Structure 1
Amino acid sequence: MTTRPSGLPLSPYRNHDDDVEFPGPAVPPEQSPAFGHESEMRSHIAQAKRVVVKIGSSSLTNDDFTVDPNKINHIVDALQARMVNSDIIVVSSGAVAAGMGPLGLTQRPTDLATKQAAAAVGQVHLAHQWGRSFARYHRTIGQVLLTASDAGRRDRARNAQRTIDRLRQLRAIPIVNENDTVATSEMRFGDNDRLSAIVAHLTSADALVLLSDVDGLYDRNPAEPDARFISEVRTGKDLKGVVAGDGGLVGTGGMASKVSAARLASRGGVPVLLTSADNIGPALEDASVGTVFHPREGRLSAWKFWALYSADTGGTLRLDEGAVKAVTAGGTSLLAVGITAVEGEFHAGEIVDIIGPDGQVVGRGEVAYDSEQLTGMLGKHTDELPEGQRRPVVHADYLSNYASRL
């Protein structure tokens, strides 16, 4: 039977983590459908040179909302074993949860100010325990706190990327978390699952490992006798009929959040392994457990991924049907003739949403003109424009569409 570091039995379906919606009896690994899988993609994940590992709140804290050093030691032991051949970047939840105990809070706060106060306290305790545990292997950690607005600004995103890369070069372990002490409710990643997908692309990782309380993805509550385990997700069709819920007592994520983050990373070209934190050993050793999300062929460049999924947008361009077909086909620049309307005030060089006549966002791109200038160019062919306005509105190199990533 799988055990926690404390020696207590732990079911892969109990609500210990921040992302479990499937309570149920403990199941020995040899009887679980989530164990013993082999595939070419699993071999790729097992051999990946740079891996982002995301750990949820309750995998790091006790029932009294204090940081559990035994849990962290268990995780660090597995990370250290993998670091013989790979670089590891940790995305760690748990700041708010870790601050609740010291502040005497018995349930996760709902107001922003108390959440931020708990995070301010918890970040100190959490970083201390990560540092103490890695010190057993003579390793140093570095804490990297990010907000959605940091990821949304290209200059800040580059700075975060450089910081993480430099920490790795100095043989320190980056511990990344959302900066809950300053993030507003309107400018949040929403959960660290999405953050981990963004970090995986920001750092050009070769694989992402998402650790939850469930040993893999099921189409429903695995306690039900007819629940089906899903070992491989190659396209969205493999998720048809899957029911996934929200987070637990101390976290904001859930299985739905995990699946969303896994698809986000895989659409950009990063393979994902989803399993339980208790299974971190085999997950990092040979990837024989859990559910694998296959990446799309043709990895997005860091810029295109950032533009599609992280960047702040300054406005909107509405296109006619012909322009939508040209843009979604790929490799074609957006010209003024296909634009029917400009919304918002923006400057040249900003990222804008590109929307079809039905209102659906089809892509994003870096616009070459200010909104005021562009308004006078709408619907005109290139030869009808003055010399200084004959450049594409969005060049193909700076345009990315969602259709190619579905």
Structure 2
Amino acid sequence: MTIREDIAAARSVVVKIGSSALTSLDGGLDAVRLGMLADAIERRMRRGSDVVIVSSGAVSAGIAPLGLAKRPRDLATKQAAAAVGQLALVNEWSTSFARYNRVVAQVLLTAGDFARRDTHRNAQRTLDRLRSLKAIAVVNENDTTATSEIKFGDNDRLAALVAHLVGADALVLLSDVDGLYDADPRKGHANFVGEVLGPEDLDGVVAGAGGSLGTGGMASKLSAAKLAADGGIPVLLAAAADAEAALSGACSVGTVFGPRDSRMTARRFWVRHAADSSGALHLDAGAVRAVVQRRSSLLAAGITEVNGRFSEGDVVELLAPDHTVIARGVVSYDSAELPPMIGHQSHELPGESIRPVVHADDLVKL
């Protein structure tokens, strides 16, 4: 089947909806537009698909009720707007789906929930259980408690991570753009890109930042599409106004991104894309060749330097002699244990220290 046919036939779908599709600067949430999106999602579910919604709009929905003139820039006001808007957002989704006797559940996540393996698994179990109970999960970033500048990227990256978390068969990104162009179509001539099968299809593409209501933009959407495709998930990028066509069997609108040939395991995807790095191991040229070319485990003999404080089971970056990050992996030792071991062959180490520093099964090339 073609990529579009795969997306049309997907049994498990994550649908991400941008702020601009749900809100206006002067009127808060647009109940009519949100209701139309709920209608399109409901029709997709009635054809047998399981749908998880990743909904932006909390900060934007809080702008008008708080009397703000524009999207706030400082973190405290963003979080205040999110605290007001989140309640309105989930209530509107609940009202829209109540017409179909469907229960809506709110799931608030942060980057930290994906970075730690235990909370990552907890989020996965929660979403899986909600789906088994036939509830519709509406996922958003927990903007009210985020300690950084709310950097998921208008929820585009969050949507890609959620798609892999729930084992989705497709990711649909809906916003105010009808697909990928090689330049900003608002600034003059731009060519539409209908299909992306590999890096060569992105040659010459210039992606810009977001608008007044969102924090993402095409650069964020392109990054999220590549992330999901890297995890083996096909992606459709389309306008929210075309939601019916995007979610129907025709799937004839927008830009599609083809997935990699084989899907990463959840653990390897987490190591590569979601986990925080707790430190770094510098490798010599021989160890780089072993890791990159032969896909071998990393042994202490190939390490030249240890940076950071980490514990056994943490994720660390592996650096080439020129300081380029070549891989990430789950380390088997604490940072305090490694310095006496580096540069030594396995037969030179005590019996309890002969296991690989990073096993090949826990190592992902970048």
TM-score w.r.t. the length of structure 1 is 0.87
Unaligned runs of 5+ in 2: none
Amino acid at match of 1:172: A
After superposition, the C-alpha distances for 1:285-305 in whole angstroms (9 at most, x for unaligned) are: 122111111111111111111
Q: What is the correspondence of 1:56-135 to structure 2 with a 5 Å cutoff?
A: 56-84=18-46, 85-135=48-98
User: What does residue 28 of structure 1 align with?
Assistant: none
User: What does residue 53 of structure 1 align with?
Assistant: 15
User: What does residue 392 of structure 1 align with?
Assistant: 356
Give the C-alpha shift of residue 176 in structure 1.
0.3
Amino acid at match of 2:11: K
d(CA) in 2 for partners of 1:113, 1:281: 37
d(CA) in 2 for partners of 1:233, 1:341: 40
CA contact (8 A) 2:19 2:175 kept: no
Q: What is the correspondence of 1:303-318 to structure 2 with a 5 Å cutoff?
A: 303-318=267-282
After superposition, the C-alpha distances for 1:132-175 in whole angstroms (9 at most, x for unaligned) are: 00000100110000111111111111111111111111110000
d(CA) in 2 for partners of 1:92, 1:335: 44
Secondary structure of 2:280's match? strand
Unaligned runs of 5+ in 1: 1-38
Q: What is the correspondence of 1:239-278 to structure 2 with a 5 Å cutoff?
A: 239-278=202-241
Residues 154, 79 of structure 1: alpha-carbon distance in 2 compared, 3 angstrom cutoff:
same
User: What does residue 285 of structure 2 align with?
Assistant: 321
Q: What is the correspondence of 1:205-284 to structure 2 with a 5 Å cutoff?
A: 205-222=168-185, 226-284=189-247
Amino acid at match of 2:23: T
Give the C-alpha shift of residue 225 in structure 1.
6.7
User: What does residue 25 of structure 1 align with?
Assistant: none
After superposition, the C-alpha distances for 1:294-340 in whole angstroms (9 at most, x for unaligned) are: 11111111111111111122110111122112212364211111111
After superposition, the C-alpha distances for 1:3-35 in whole angstroms (9 at most, x for unaligned) are: xxxxxxxxxxxxxxxxxxxxxxxxxxxxxxxxx
Amino acid at match of 2:164: H
d(CA) in 2 for partners of 1:125, 1:329: 52
Amino acid at match of 1:390: I
CA contact (8 A) 2:20 2:175 kept: no
Q: What is the correspondence of 1:179-218 to structure 2 with a 5 Å cutoff?
A: 179-185=142-148, 188-218=151-181
Give the C-alpha shift of residue 189 in structure 1.
2.0
Q: Report which stretch shifted further, 187-196 or 86-95.
A: 187-196
1:152 pairs with 2:115: yes
Residues 199, 253 of structure 1: alpha-carbon distance in 2 compared, 3 angstrom cutoff:
same
Q: Over the residues paired in the alignment, what is the CA RMSD in angstroms?
A: 1.4
Give the C-alpha shift of residue 223 in structure 1.
5.2
User: What does residue 252 of structure 2 align with?
Assistant: 288
Amino acid at match of 1:196: A
Give the C-alpha shift of residue 284 in structure 1.
1.0
d(CA) in 1 for partners of 2:235, 2:257: 5
d(CA) in 2 for partners of 1:188, 1:247: 13
CA contact (8 A) 1:147 1:188 kept: no
Q: How many residues align?
A: 364
Give % identity.
58
d(CA) in 1 for partners of 2:287, 2:247: 45
Secondary structure of 1:395's match? strand
CA contact (8 A) 1:148 1:187 kept: no
Give the C-alpha shift of residue 258 in structure 1.
0.5
CA contact (8 A) 1:65 1:97 kept: no
Residues 225, 126 of structure 1: alpha-carbon distance in 2 compared, 3 angstrom cutoff:
closer
Give the C-alpha shift of residue 65 in structure 1.
4.1
CA contact (8 A) 1:90 1:175 kept: yes
CA contact (8 A) 1:341 1:375 kept: yes
Q: What is the correspondence of 1:152-171 to structure 2 with a 5 Å cutoff?
A: 152-171=115-134
1:333 pairs with 2:297: yes
Secondary structure of 1:182's match? coil
